[in-house]
Amino acid sequence: MNSPSNPTPKARRPIDRWRWTGRLFLVLMLLYTAVPMIWMLLTSIKSGFAALQFPPQWWPDEPTLASYQKLLDPTNSVGRDFLRFFWNSLFVSTVTTILAVIVAVPAAYAFSRFDFPGRKFLFFAVLLRNMFPAVIFLVPLFILMRLLGLVNTHGSLILTYLTFGLPLAIWLLKGFYDNIPIQLEQAARIDGATRFQAFILVVMPLSVPGIIATAIYSFIGAWNEYIFAYTFINRNDQLTLPVGIQRFFSENTTDFPGLMAASFMMSLPVVVLFLLLQRYFVKALTEGAVKH
């Protein structure tokens, strides 16, 4: 006689089917996201002639790293431009991320913990911007940046990216703070800690996953943005990578291996950032759990 804790094979069969269906779906999603990256990498190690062959060469007969050597060589114009664009994007994205976290953390905490007049109105006013497409703010923001004298500077991009990144960052962190029991802060206050000390020593460690998620979102949004960078910046030494990559297109021909190599290197920091922070994200979830 089978005990309830040991279900029969027939009872386990529907569970196994759902499990294998889920695994198949994950494999398909992995292929959907990985195949373009693999094709980008394979094209980047082809010669210009092999990249234009039809039917396409799935694996190059003579793989070469000439495109990467050209991009990373500061002695030629292509390498100098690519490295300058790369560091410009890294600078803008990093500063935007730091400022977004610095502003979003106290703002989200205030919306979550304090009850002040107009709190709900202000919170929904912050989110109101995300209800409209970003492109409709292009002309007003350009006029504003011109009045501030920030056109053709990285400051215009940083302020613009903060305008679009902060609402979602505040919303994400507020939801995270709402799930942290206020009794933990009250216990710290009873033990003699000030509100600021309770926030730093109790709330901040528990909110690390939310802060990391906010940082990743802000960095990726600033790193990949094209329209505002294309509009606000027209000086070659100030261009960011999404705009600079178009230099591989010309009127008569396109350097597809170079374009794919630049695109692959542009996507690499985002992938590496997520892989590095994913470990800390899981660690923060497990170590920051509330123990009863």
Closest CA to 243 of 71, 37, 82, 135: 82
CA dist 175 and 77 (Å) reads: 48
CA dist list (Å): 181 to 23, 80, 96: 35, 52, 30
Q: At which residue do the structure tokens 């070469």 appear?
A: 64
pLDDT tens digit at each of 292 positions of the chain: 455 555 555 555 666 777 888 888 988 988 888 888 888 888 888 877 777 777 777 787 788 888 888 888 888 888 888 889 999 999 999 999 999 999 999 999 988 888 888 888 888 887 777 778 888 888 899 999 999 988 889 999 999 999 888 888 888 888 888 888 888 888 888 888 888 888 888 888 888 888 888 888 889 889 989 999 999 988 888 899 998 887 766 655 677 888 888 888 888 888 888 788 776 656 545 544 444 4
Place of tokens 């664009």: 85
- CATH fold of 68-287, please? MetI-like fold (1.10.3720)
Residue-level length of the chain: 292
Distance CA 188, CA 256 (A): 60
Residue 160 CA to residue 13 CA, distance in Å, equals 54
Residue 9 has a pLDDT of 57
Bridge partners (DSSP) listed for residue 46: none
Q: What is the pLDDT of residue 182?
A: 87
The whole-number pLDDT of residue 161 equals: 92
Q: Strand, coil or helix: what is 165?
A: helix
pLDDT at 250: 61
Who contacts 252 (Cβ-Cβ below 8 Å, separation ≥6)? none
Alpha carbon 4 to chain centroid, angstroms: 47
Based on its alpha-carbon atoms, the radius of gyration of the chain, rounded to whole angstroms, reads 25
The token pair that represents 207 in the structure block = 């909110």
* Neighbouring C-beta atoms of residue 189, cutoff 10 Å: 14
User: Nearest CA to 138 among 236, 222, 237, 226?
Assistant: 226
CA angle 219/224/228 to nearest 5° reads 105
Confidence (pLDDT) at 89: 92
pLDDT at 8: 55
Q: Which of 226, 254, 218 is nearest to 242 (CA)?
A: 226
At residue 281, the pLDDT reads 58
